[in-house]
Chains A and B, each alone.
Chain A
Amino acid sequence: MTTATAQEVTYLEAISQALDEEMARDERVFLLGEDIGPYGGAFRITEGFQKKYGEWRVLDTPLSESGFVGAAIGAAMMGMRPVVEMQFADFISCAFDQITEVAAKNHYRWGAAVPMVIRAPFGGGVHGGPFHSECPEGWFFHSPGLKIVAPSTPYDAKGLLKAAIRDPNPVIYFEHKFLYRRVKAVLPQEDFIVPIGKAEVKRTGDDITVVTYGATVHLALEAAELLAKEGIDLEIVDLRTLIPLDKDTIFASVRKTSKAIMLHEDNKTGGIGAEIAALLAEECFDCLDGPILRIAAPDTPVPFSTPLEEYFLPKVGDIVAAARKLAAY
Chain B
Amino acid sequence: MDLAVVAKEIKKDDLLQMYYYLRLTRTLEERITALYRQGRIMGGVYTSHGMEAIAVGYASALERDDIIAPYHRDMGAFLIRGITPGEVIAQYLGKRTGPTRGKDGNVHIGDLKRGVIGFVSHLADNLPVATGAALAFKMRGESRVVITNTGDGGTSRGDFHEALNFASVRKLPVVFFCNNNQYAYSTPLHLQMAIRDVVERAKAYAMPGEIVDGNDVAEVYLAAKRAIQRARSGEGPTFIEAKTMRMHGHSEHDSAKYVPRELLEEWKKKDPIMKAEQMLNQLGYGDEATLKEIEERVKKEVEAGVEFAEQSPLPEGREVLDGVFATEDEVQP
Measured CB to CB, the residues of A under 8 A from B are 30, 56-57, 59, 61-62, 64, 66-80, 82, 97-98, 101-102, 105-115, 144-145, 147, 168-169
Q: Are the CB atoms of A115 and B166 closer together than 8 Å?
A: no
A47 to chain B, nearest CB (A): 22
Interface stretch of the complex, out of B51-59, B189-197, B260-268, B321-329: B321-329
The answer to whether A97 and B118 touch (CB under 8 A), given A67-B131, A79-B332, is no
Q: Are the CB atoms of A168 and B166 closer together than 8 Å?
A: no
Q: Which of A62, A70, A74 contacts B136 (CB 8 A)?
A: A74
The answer to whether A71 and B135 touch (CB under 8 A), given A66-B128, A77-B117, A109-B108, is yes
Q: Which of A71, A78, A82, A113 contacts B326 (CB 8 A)?
A: A113
Q: Are the CB atoms of A71 and B125 closer together than 8 Å?
A: no
B165 to chain A, nearest CB (A): 6
Measured CB to CB, the residues of B under 8 A from A are 67, 69, 99-100, 103-104, 108-112, 117-118, 120, 122, 125-139, 146, 158-159, 162-163, 165-166, 169-170, 323-328, 330-333
Which of B134, B327, B332 is the most central at the interface, judged by chain A CB atoms within 10 Å of its CB? B332
Q: Are the CB atoms of A168 and B163 closer together than 8 Å?
A: no
Q: Are the CB atoms of B165 and A110 closer together than 8 Å?
A: no
With a CB–CB cut-off of 8 A, which chain B residues contact A168? 325-328, 330-331
Q: Which of A70, A82, A145 contacts B163 (CB 8 A)?
A: A70
With a CB–CB cut-off of 8 A, which chain B residues contact A66? 128, 158-159, 162
The answer to whether A115 and B331 touch (CB under 8 A), given A62-B166, A107-B326, A144-B324, is yes
The answer to whether A112 and B127 touch (CB under 8 A), given A62-B162, A168-B326, is no
With a CB–CB cut-off of 8 A, which chain B residues contact A68? 128, 162, 166
The answer to whether A110 and B109 touch (CB under 8 A), given A68-B166, A77-B117, is yes
Q: Which of B120, B135, B139, B169 contacts A102 (CB 8 A)?
A: B120
B34 to chain A, nearest CB (A): 26
CA distance in complex: A45, B170 (Å): 24
Q: Are the CB atoms of B128 and A71 closer together than 8 Å?
A: yes
CA distance in complex: A93, B50 (Å): 38
Q: Are the CB atoms of A77 and B332 closer together than 8 Å?
A: yes
CA distance in complex: A130, B120 (Å): 32
B139 to chain A, nearest CB (A): 5
Q: Are the CB atoms of A79 and B100 closer together than 8 Å?
A: no
With a CB–CB cut-off of 8 A, which chain A residues contact B158? 66
A101 to chain B, nearest CB (A): 6
B236 to chain A, nearest CB (A): 15
With a CB–CB cut-off of 8 A, which chain A residues contact B120? 101-102, 105
CA distance in complex: A30, B158 (Å): 25
With a CB–CB cut-off of 8 A, which chain B residues contact A109? 100, 103-104, 108, 110, 118
**Residue ID in chain A nearest B113 by CB atoms:** A111
Which of B104, B125, B132, B139 is the most central at the interface, judged by chain A CB atoms within 10 Å of its CB? B132
The answer to whether A79 and B129 touch (CB under 8 A), given A109-B118, A169-B326, is no
**Residue ID in chain B nearest A145 by CB atoms:** B324
B66 to chain A, nearest CB (A): 12
CA distance in complex: A193, B50 (Å): 55
B99 to chain A, nearest CB (A): 6
Q: Are the CB atoms of B325 and A147 closer together than 8 Å?
A: yes
Q: Are the CB atoms of B136 and A110 closer together than 8 Å?
A: no
CA distance in complex: A145, B326 (Å): 9
CA distance in complex: A111, B100 (Å): 8
CA distance in complex: A113, B110 (Å): 12
21 contacts between A and B (CB under 8 A): A59-B170, A61-B166, A62-B162, A62-B165, A70-B128, A70-B129, A70-B132, A74-B69, A74-B132, A74-B135, A77-B129, A80-B136, A98-B129, A101-B122, A101-B125, A102-B126, A111-B112, A115-B326, A115-B331, A168-B326, A168-B330
